[in-house]
Amino acid sequence: MQEIRLFSGEMIPLERHKVRIVQKLELLPVEERLSKLQEAHNNLYLLKNRDVFLDMLTDSGVNAMSDKQQSAMMDADDAYAGSETFFQLEAKVQDLFGMEHFLPAHQGRGCEKVLADLLVRPGDLIPMNYHFTTTRAHIVRCGGEVLELLCAEGEVYTSDKPFKGNMDNDALRTLLKNSERNIPFVRMEAGTNLIGGQPFSLANLQECSGICREHDVPLVLDASLVQDNLYFIKSRETNCREMSVREIMRAIADCCDIIYFSARKFGFARGGGIALRESPLVNPLQELIVLNEGFLTYGGMSVREMAAITVGLEESMDESVISQGPEFIRYMVEELTKLGVPVVTPAGGLGCHLNAKEFVPHIASDEYPAAALASALFIAGGIRGMERGTLSEDRHADGSEAHASMELLRLAVPRRVFTLSQIKYCIDRVHWLWQNRELIAGLRFTREPKILRFFTGELEAVSDWQEKLVARFRSDFGDSL
Ligand code: F0G
């Protein structure tokens, strides 16, 4: 195990790296934080990074790179076609997944687009443990429908179940046996993003794979967050204790027919790609990659990024590397739990998730509790989290709100980026907000896009509650930032 215990018995997420390049951060006074938030129309995506102190929006493309990644980037082979750097990346993917073909894409959603274009037809049904926003948007764009078959405990906020990302395999078996709809593939998502970075177990994936093979339906894995899932299998699944991370990775890949990933997460750089074995799908997928992403030896990625991904994938097989994110997240979850703050448990990967339904139960779903909490935390500490709730859903066809089953504020912990004192600061400001939660009220749209509205939509506070929060901050913290 990689955990470090202090003499006092305290367990801390000790960094197993040292900082060699830094970026200066500015913490604006609380009054300025409010005015920057209002300039950004209460949508944290619209903030300027220079106005953010702790950027916990996402782990996507913002993980710290290692010295070895940086040096590999200097050595990349620049070519439109036939770059040696691509062949090194391809060899690494083949080595880790045991799949012959690797098709590069500019990022995860590029993979999702070409897979949906090829595989999804109007009326199709795509079962999955849980959807991701961009995944579902592409499936729906092609006329398909997503069916979530997440295990029963998956959407329980507070739980001690180690694998809340598991597929409900009984439901999948029944569906594949009885469905009259066309099911082009089954999708499993590692480190299930929207329910709090929760993993599946290897046993669950193996059973799911057996069912798919029995019914001749391909199993597609979204491996964007597989590094966290690997760590949780290694540390939580008794039968896998003796397996190396690499062996677990291969056992996962053996279950799947197609694996795609965002290398903004898996690989600690920026890019993505699709891996698969020899199949009639290879040629049509290659055509779509060339059409949408770029030539088959770069797929929209710069050669420098491909070089960094190759090293990052190899580093993801090192338990002391992949443990860093989950250990920091567990620390946050445990400290916040001690303070009585409602968080998703057990701690997952990707980030610490606040349960906005319980944090601000007085805010109606139509006034976006998790988004309101996100705006309040920016005021409280210059901390940018990401709403993962009703605001991240698109409306029903009749214009009514599609209420998310979970209302979460995700505080992402990009890998190897923040120090423990920054995490402690974040815990402190969340605690202060929890003590002052009655001041927080809702938001409403002033401009609402039709597709993926959370990215660019504009909102306003339903009252002057944000000004009142600033006043409370001043009276509690005096001159402090
Ligand atoms: N699949 C999963 C599970 C993801 O988490 C993401 C991205 C994608 C696919 C799409 O990949 O961004 O490279 O196009 N998640 C980011 C996040 C956006 O912040 O959670 P992408």
Task: Indicate whether 135 and 221 sit together in one domain.
Answer: yes
The arithmetic mean of pLDDT across residues 423-437, rounded, is 98
Catalytic residue at 133? Answer: yes
- Looking at the fold, whether 286 and 430 belong to one and the same domain comes out as no
CATH assignment at residue 398: 3.90.1150.10
Q: Which amino acid is at 240?
A: C
* 111 and 54, same domain (yes or no): no
Contacts of residue 91, defined as CB under 8 A and 6 or more positions apart, other chains included, come to none
- 342/240 same-domain check: no
pLDDT the model gives residue 4: 83
Name the domain boundary from 263, 287, 318. Answer: 318
How far is the centre of ligand 1, averaged over its atoms, from the C-alpha of 105 (Å)? 13
Q: Is 272 in the pocket of ligand 1 (CB under 6 A)?
A: yes
Q: What is the pLDDT, as a whole number, of residue 2?
A: 65
Give the closest residue to 252 by CA, choosing from 196, 199, 197, 311. Answer: 199
| Per-residue pLDDT at 1 exceeds 60 | no
Structure-block tokens of residue 124: 């199709």
The pLDDT tens digits for 236-269 are 999 999 999 999 999 999 999 999 999 999 999 9
Find the domain containing 458 and state its range.
2-59+321-477
Same domain, 345 and 287: no
Report how many domains make up the chain. Answer: 2
* Whether residue 112 sits in one domain with residue 83: yes
Pocket test residue of 56, 265, 353, 411 for ligand 1, highest count of atoms within 8 A of CB = 265
- Please indicate, yes or no, whether residues 352 and 299 belong to a single structural domain of this protein: no
Q: Which of 266, 301, 318 is the last residue of a domain?
A: 318
How far, in Å, CA of 478 to CA of 370, rounded?
Answer: 28
Q: Counting Cβ atoms within 10 Å, is residue 7 exposed (0-12), middle (13-18) or buried (19+)? A: exposed
Of 379, 377, 402, 378, which Cα lies nearest the Cα of 392?
Answer: 402
pLDDT band at 3 (very low <50, low <70, confident <90, very high): confident
Shortest CA distance to 205 belongs to which of 189, 216, 228?
189
* Same-domain pairing of 276 and 381: no
Largest CA-CA distance found in the chain, in angstroms, rounded: 67
**Residue of the CA atom closest to atom 9 of ligand 1:** 108
**Residue 58 alpha carbon to ligand 1 centre in Å:** 9
Residue at which a domain ends, from 295, 318, 341: 318
Q: Whose CA is nearest to atom 20 of ligand 1?
A: 58
Report yes or no: 232 and 198 within 8 Å, Cβ to Cβ: no
Are 394 and 304 part of one and the same domain?
no
Active site residue: 164, 388, 429, 472, which one?
Answer: 388
- Distance of alpha carbon 30 from alpha carbon 480, whole angstroms: 9
Whether residue 428 is found in the same domain as residue 379: yes
Cα separation, 346 vs 343, whole angstroms: 9
CATH number at 135 reads 3.40.640.10
Same domain? For 234 and 202 the reply is: yes
39 Cβ contact partners less than 8 Å away, ≥ 6 residues apart:
none
Among 53, 102, 132, 328, the one annotated catalytic: 132
pLDDT (tens digit per residue) in 319-357: 999 999 999 999 999 999 999 999 999 999 999 999 999
How far is the C-alpha of 161 from the C-alpha of 331, rounded, in Å? 18
Domain match, 375 and 250 both: no
Where do runs of H (alpha helix) occur along 62-178?
67-74, 84-97, 108-119, 133-141, 169-178
- Write out pLDDT tens, residues 94-122: 999 999 999 999 999 999 999 999 999 99
